[in-house]
């Protein structure tokens, strides 16, 4: 069973702004966190997404793909996040 998936970031403030907006669209929110890591989900009893500043502070160099079932869903996410992910 999946507990959480971690995405590395070198800019936590920017990542939090992006994922707060993005994940709110699917009913998730920041559940808890500390300075270097934040956990998102719908419940601590379900799988979560974690944002983390790696201890080896180099660009994370990872890519995650999010799929939308319809173009209108993708446009809604893009509109809700603005330029936060750029």
Q: Please write the tens of the pLDDT for every residue from 39-82.
A: 999 999 888 999 998 877 666 555 455 566 777 776 776 777 66
- Determine the Cα–Cα distance for residues 82 and 23; give it in Å rounded to an integer: 13
pLDDT tens per residue, range 12-32: 999 999 999 999 989 999 999
Residue-range domains of the chain with CATH? 4-58+67-79 (3.10.180.10)
Q: What is the pTM of this model?
A: 0.68
């Amino acid at each position: 069973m999946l507990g959480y998936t971690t995405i590395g970031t070198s800019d936590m403030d920017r990542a939090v702004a992006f994922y707060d907006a993005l994940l709110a669209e699917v009913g998730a929110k920041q559940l808890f966190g500390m300075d270097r890591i934040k956990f998102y989900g719908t419940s601590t009893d379900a799988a979560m997404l974690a944002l983390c500043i790696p201890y080896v502070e180099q660009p994370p160099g990872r890519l995650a793909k999010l799929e939308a079932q319809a173009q209108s869903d993708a446009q809604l996410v893009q509109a809700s996040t603005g330029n936060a992910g750029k």
